Chains A and B, each alone.
Chain A
Amino acid sequence: METQYDQETLTLLLKSAGDGDQTASDKLFELAYQELKNMAHQKLLGYGNMKTMHTTALVHEAYIKLFNHGKLNFENRNHFFALCARMMRQILVDHYRKKSAEKRGGGQHNETLGTHHGATEPSTGEELLDLDSALGKLSTLNDRLSTVVECKFFISMKDEEIASYLGVTDRTIRNDWRKAKMWLSKELMNQNKNPGILE
């Protein structure tokens, strides 16, 4: 494991972040981001020996790993998750952007000789990249909507968890999610200029 971090520092930072210290929050983000990124590349996107396959599980694991002393209360945890959701978005988008660039640069796929039993090419995460740019626009209109989408889409947080983090009611989250979906659907449709793909 390459990333080094000081357990003391993190806990401290997180506490400050919880208190609304912007610099502390940024630092925490950076640290946690490094950790998540490593885990994601090992477990989600590369080869690893873990059985977990959900980003949610990954974030939980990161959370336990980072704060195994259990000093954080519930609100902090949701705060952390919400941050992770943003990170996960970034990590995955970077990953797929890179893959997509490789693909474009790599030219036509070469057939391998010899025995091979056909396999299907996985998608390039096209949708993810489209969603990322749409989310960027949405956050300029109403940042909360974009946060709700991140929490739900990237790490499948529950409505109550998001509500607790944002300090609003569950019902608001549900409405936010619906409004966000409306806007995103419209936006993605415009991006593709072809509604067929969305059906």
Chain B
Amino acid sequence: MDRKTWKRVEVVLDSLLELDQNHWKGYLKKEVCDDEIRREVELLIEAENKTPDFLEFGINGLILPELAISEIANDVRLGIVNPDRYEIMEEIGRGGMSVVYKARRTDDEFDQEVAIKIIQPFGLNREEQISRLRIERQILANLQHNNIARVFDGGVTPEGWPYMVMELVEGVSLHSFCRQNRLTLHERLKLFQQICSAVIYAHRNLVVHRDLKPSNILITGDGIVKLLDFGISKLLRDDHESVAVTQTEKRLLTPEYAAPEQFSLGAITTSADIYSLGVILYELLTDQRPFDLSGKSLAEAERMIQEADPPKPSARQHNLPFSAEKLRGDLETICLKALRKEPEKRYGTVQEFNDDIDRYFSGLPVIARPATRIYRIQKFVSRHKTGVAITAAVLIIITGLFLALLHQQAIALQERDRAVTEANKAEQVTDFLIELFNANDPDIARGEIPTARDLLTNGALRIGNAFDGNPAMRSDMLVILGNLNRRIGENETARQLLEEGLELANTIGEFETEIKALQTIALTDQQTGDNDKALESLKKAEDLLASKGLKPGKLHSSVSRNLTFLLSEMGHLAESVNHAEEALILARKEDYLEPETLYRYLDSMGRALVAKQEHGNAEIYFTEALNLNITLEEAPSWRMNMHNNLAAIRAYYGDHKSAVEHRTEAMELADIIYADIPGDTQRAIIRNNLSINLINTGQLGKAIELLQEALEIYGETYPDGLNNRVASVHNNLGLAYRHSEEWERAIHHYSKSRDINAELFGADDIRFGIISANIARPLSRLGRFYEAETMAQTAYDQYLKILGPDHTMIATVMRLFADIRLDENRPDEALTYADKALNIYNNLDHANTDAIISALEYRARALAELGRQDDALEVFKEAITLGNNDEYQKGLAWPQLLFSYTEFLHNRKNQDAHTYAALALSAYTDTFGPTHSGTRRMEAMANKIFLMAEQTNTEFD
């Protein structure tokens, strides 16, 4: 542009500057005819939005750090700086923002050498920065990991320099160590894993390093990795007010190891550390950095890092003690995954990264290789967090990250007060948050819950006036934060945040947030037992939706589901079903609904019906939900839920075969969905449930196998084993062993279960009764009648107290007593008990056929023992008829009945014994398999009967 053109441009600009910015566009359109001038002015206006921060802040922002460092050094030289209690010895390092000295504690009886880092805070609000440094220092002081240089102490020198006292690490940098020692590939990877373990630990404690590089990684004489400078860059960047911070941010990063997003000042998360680790691994593997930035300007470096693909490690020549060819394949893939430009395409956590190297070591397929099915499912899991349990700890860790973001966002908003981009930003933050929830899903950490909880409570306070300029975002954040607080049981804090969010959303007309707030308030009320209030909130939300014509719809399906569950929980079973049905009918009339919306309505309907004990009807809706296209094609976790629901219903009807099928499907899905989540309980829960179905179909070996797996999984989650789920698994193991007739083992597991239950719930809990009943039978089989009797009596007393005399469980105990009495050879009493059981079954609407058959069998046997053979025969026949009914899904009582009947017939030398022996044998083989002790016993009896029959035949010949 020449001077003359610029003059004309300036004239226009001068006129514009006299006007309100809103009128600029109009003015340009009307008053400026020359296209060239107008275009030029437009470009300038656009450019103003991108004014570099450093221009605003001035030269002082550029010079300060260097200047300050020499000043600190000088102060120290002159002996001015002398942090309390420490004697400065020598300078050992220097950087843009700090000087590090070797020092000695002067007030200590034992002579401890430390490193003291003296930091130059800069920017405008020094006081605030110093106080923030103090908080950060406390966080860092909590990091106690073998591979992280410890922070012991800190303060402010009399001259006003903040300082930190750290572990003095004597060692060499990662680079030097590798060069000096000519490390093998294996040794390099092991070293790298040490680095990973430090970073994993830090991330679990909410500390992101942000400046990982070999010079920050020292190796001690013992070969231990020590990470330095944890959180330092974070300390220095969190500055509220000053433009210099963003400027400094750029100055602080080390371009060679910085992730692409660190240049654009996007929110920096754990993912940036993963990238830096990727560069470090790359360097360990190839002796070169992914990009050669020497002699490049920051701008050129940035462009390269943001745009260029790093060369494949296997393509780079080096003279390390292994060939580049060895890197081809998995190692290379692992390394390049960490170096992806897009944070979401890198490893989700450092743990995953580290695990992949483990997989490489053990020759397993690495996850870096996109195995399509699993990959897709994982993607799904991260898209739909419903159904994927997020443990409380994880949630809290994520919250911490969320707070960091909130904080950064607050800065960003203050600095860039540009209305146009705000809406856009709000969306980004929400996206980012959701992304955090998803991407960091379950295994990021099971870390320090108490401190994290503190963080969350602090966060509730810290939201203060954040986002004041953007009420839409503020209301959104309030609701999210409220919900997080609810989930960790901070109900009061949750309520406050939610109420504020609700009010704000209502004032500014953020409809969706308002609904979410109401829903979450309802959940909070439910949590504190205030169901009526919860109901009120949900109904209000539903009315609001209806008034906007959003019933039915996606939002409504969620509100409606909560309402349905709440009604069931309050015991309004019919109302709950009616509500769900009404919603479903409306939904079906709709021309278009998002597929997941219909799924939700169907799911609600089914569950309402289950609560109302209408299992058959529920099954219809669950089946429909299962067969929706979206469920079948895209949503493995929904498929898993539906298979679980259907399995429970089939089991309820005694159809354990179908239950096994559904549960097996559910288990296979769970194994894929939760593949990378060690210790997740979902896989164990399904195994436990499936084992019950398996036991009921006699597949005892398989059941025991799954139960052992469940114990293994729980072992990771509940190391002390004091958990009712663990107790349940032991109980079912006891049951499986009992049916395998391995009495001692059954008693062992039952006892374990009983102990855990007693410890957790006390002896008054119904579970204690159930398990006592269970333990009685194997005791009786071993002839330990007194103990068996005591156990059964405990169960009976408790059932009677809790359930009353007519409950089906009382009948179960009666059968147990009958069984014990038969073992004890006291048939008269056995008969009484069997009759009592049958009496209860007769008075029930729906009694389990297997249970009735079992009671009849005891009765028949007791009669036979008492010598009332004809009566016994009648009862046996009655039981057999009942069992031959087509509707009866044959359970475990059936082979048992056939055995007893065969034995009875055989004793009476009845010819039919022959037929029933064959039937019984095939029932045993079908149910328990050929090697089961029951089958063997039956076989022995059958052989005797067949042999006798042959002998008889011979006699007649």
Question: Which chain A residues have a beta carbon within 8 Å of chain B's beta carbons?
Answer: 43-51, 53-56, 88, 92, 104, 107-108, 111-128, 131, 140-142, 152-156, 175, 178-179, 181-186, 188-189, 192-199
**Interface check B880, CB cutoff 8 A:** no
C-alpha gap A79/B515 in the complex (Å): 64
Asked, given contacts A44-B63, A189-B50, A194-B299, whether A117 binds B58 with beta carbons under 8 Å apart, the answer is no
C-alpha gap A119/B251 in the complex (Å): 12
Residues of A within 8 A of B306 (CB): 196
- Residue pair B299, A126 in contact (C-beta under 8 Å): yes
From A48, A154, A193, give the contact of B59 (CB < 8 A).
A154
C-alpha gap A50/B68 in the complex (Å): 10
C-alpha gap A121/B3 in the complex (Å): 41
Residues of A within 8 A of B372 (CB): none
**Interface check B719, CB cutoff 8 A:** no
- Using CB atoms, name the residue of chain B closest to A150: B59
Asked, given contacts A116-B93, A121-B95, whether A141 binds B100 with beta carbons under 8 Å apart, the answer is no
- Distance between A154 CB and nearest chain B CB, rounded to angstroms: 5
- Distance between B264 CB and nearest chain A CB, rounded to angstroms: 5
**Interface check B312, CB cutoff 8 A:** no
- Residue pair B251, A115 in contact (C-beta under 8 Å): no
In the complex, per-residue mask of B5-35: 1 if CB is within 8 Å of any chain A CB, else 0: 0110010011001000000000000000000
- Residue pair A186, B43 in contact (C-beta under 8 Å): yes
From A47, A116, A197, give the contact of B298 (CB < 8 A).
A197
**Interface check B168, CB cutoff 8 A:** yes
C-alpha gap A49/B77 in the complex (Å): 10
From A43, A48, A104, A131, give the contact of B55 (CB < 8 A).
A131
Asked, given contacts A154-B58, A181-B48, whether A117 binds B68 with beta carbons under 8 Å apart, the answer is no
- Residue pair B67, A53 in contact (C-beta under 8 Å): yes
Residues of B within 8 A of A181 (CB): 48, 51, 55-56
Question: Which chain B residues have a beta carbon within 8 Å of chain A's beta carbons?
Answer: 1, 3, 6-7, 10, 13-14, 17, 43-45, 47-48, 50-52, 54-56, 58-60, 62-68, 70-71, 73-74, 78, 92-98, 100, 102, 115, 117, 149, 166, 168-173, 175-176, 211, 213-216, 218, 228-229, 233, 250-252, 254, 263-265, 294-295, 297-299, 302-303, 306
- Residue pair B59, A92 in contact (C-beta under 8 Å): yes
List 6 extra interface pairs beyond A45-B66, A125-B62, CB under 8 A: A48-B74, A92-B63, A115-B93, A117-B169, A120-B251, A189-B47
Residues of B within 8 A of A114 (CB): 92, 172
From A53, A182, A197, give the contact of B68 (CB < 8 A).
A53
- Distance between A92 CB and nearest chain B CB, rounded to angstroms: 7
C-alpha gap A23/B51 in the complex (Å): 38
From B6, B60, B78, B265, give the contact of A55 (CB < 8 A).
B60
- Residue pair A111, B95 in contact (C-beta under 8 Å): no
Residues of B within 8 A of A116 (CB): 92-93, 100, 173, 215, 218
- Residue pair A120, B95 in contact (C-beta under 8 Å): yes
- Distance between A34 CB and nearest chain B CB, rounded to angstroms: 20
Residues of B within 8 A of A43 (CB): 67
- Using CB atoms, name the residue of chain B closest to A51: B71
Q: Is the interface of B mostly helix, strand, loop or mixed?
A: helix
- Residue pair A195, B50 in contact (C-beta under 8 Å): yes
From B17, B48, B74, B173, give the contact of A49 (CB < 8 A).
B74
Residues of A within 8 A of B44 (CB): 179, 182-183, 186
C-alpha gap A142/B54 in the complex (Å): 22
From B17, B52, B94, give the contact of A119 (CB < 8 A).
B94
Asked, given contacts A117-B228, A120-B95, A179-B10, whether A199 binds B50 with beta carbons under 8 Å apart, the answer is yes
- Residue pair B170, A115 in contact (C-beta under 8 Å): yes
Residues of B within 8 A of A88 (CB): 59
Asked, given contacts A53-B68, A189-B50, whether A182 binds B96 with beta carbons under 8 Å apart, the answer is no
- Residue pair B62, A128 in contact (C-beta under 8 Å): yes
Asked, given contacts A118-B93, A196-B306, whether A113 binds B172 with beta carbons under 8 Å apart, the answer is yes
Residues of B within 8 A of A112 (CB): 173
- Distance between A100 CB and nearest chain B CB, rounded to angstroms: 9
- Distance between B659 CB and nearest chain A CB, rounded to angstroms: 58
From B45, B63, B229, give the contact of A117 (CB < 8 A).
B229
- Residue pair A117, B117 in contact (C-beta under 8 Å): yes
26 contacts between A and B (CB under 8 A): A47-B74, A53-B68, A55-B59, A92-B59, A111-B215, A116-B100, A117-B93, A118-B216, A118-B229, A119-B97, A119-B98, A122-B66, A122-B95, A123-B96, A124-B298, A141-B3, A156-B58, A175-B13, A178-B17, A179-B13, A181-B48, A183-B47, A184-B51, A185-B51, A196-B264, A198-B50
- Distance between A62 CB and nearest chain B CB, rounded to angstroms: 15
- Distance between B148 CB and nearest chain A CB, rounded to angstroms: 13
- Residue pair A117, B166 in contact (C-beta under 8 Å): yes
Asked, given contacts A182-B44, A185-B51, whether A54 binds B60 with beta carbons under 8 Å apart, the answer is yes
Residues of B within 8 A of A142 (CB): 3, 6-7, 10
Residues of A within 8 A of B294 (CB): 107-108
- Residue pair B50, A120 in contact (C-beta under 8 Å): no
- Using CB atoms, name the residue of chain B closest to A128: B62
- Using CB atoms, name the residue of chain B closest to A105: B295
From A49, A126, A182, A196, give the contact of B78 (CB < 8 A).
A49
Residues of A within 8 A of B302 (CB): 194, 196-197
Asked, given contacts A120-B97, A126-B299, whether A141 binds B63 with beta carbons under 8 Å apart, the answer is no
- Residue pair A56, B62 in contact (C-beta under 8 Å): no
Residues of A within 8 A of B166 (CB): 117
- Using CB atoms, name the residue of chain A closest to B233: A120
Residues of A within 8 A of B149 (CB): 117
Asked, given contacts A123-B250, A182-B45, A198-B50, whether A175 binds B14 with beta carbons under 8 Å apart, the answer is yes
C-alpha gap A142/B172 in the complex (Å): 55
- Distance between B818 CB and nearest chain A CB, rounded to angstroms: 78
- Using CB atoms, name the residue of chain B closest to A43: B67
- Residue pair B10, A111 in contact (C-beta under 8 Å): no
Question: Which residue among B51, B59, B169 has the maximum number of chain A CB atoms within 10 Å of its CB?
Answer: B59
- Distance between B71 CB and nearest chain A CB, rounded to angstroms: 7
C-alpha gap A48/B60 in the complex (Å): 17
Residues of B within 8 A of A53 (CB): 60, 63-64, 67-68, 71
- Residue pair A119, B96 in contact (C-beta under 8 Å): yes
Residues of A within 8 A of B115 (CB): 115, 117
Closest 6 A-B residue pairs measured CB to CB? A119-B95, A186-B47, A122-B96, A117-B100, A118-B216, A185-B47
Residues of A within 8 A of B250 (CB): 123, 197
- Residue pair A120, B58 in contact (C-beta under 8 Å): no
C-alpha gap A70/B853 in the complex (Å): 116
From A46, A115, A153, give the contact of B92 (CB < 8 A).
A115
C-alpha gap A148/B731 in the complex (Å): 84
Asked, given contacts A116-B92, A119-B100, whether A185 binds B71 with beta carbons under 8 Å apart, the answer is no
C-alpha gap A33/B758 in the complex (Å): 88
Residues of A within 8 A of B78 (CB): 49
- Distance between B212 CB and nearest chain A CB, rounded to angstroms: 10
Residues of A within 8 A of B95 (CB): 118-122
C-alpha gap A88/B67 in the complex (Å): 15
C-alpha gap A43/B74 in the complex (Å): 11
From A47, A153, A198, give the contact of B70 (CB < 8 A).
A47
C-alpha gap A88/B62 in the complex (Å): 13
- Distance between B65 CB and nearest chain A CB, rounded to angstroms: 6
Asked, given contacts A48-B74, A123-B250, whether A140 binds B100 with beta carbons under 8 Å apart, the answer is no
C-alpha gap A189/B299 in the complex (Å): 11
- Distance between A81 CB and nearest chain B CB, rounded to angstroms: 14
Residues of A within 8 A of B173 (CB): 111-113, 116
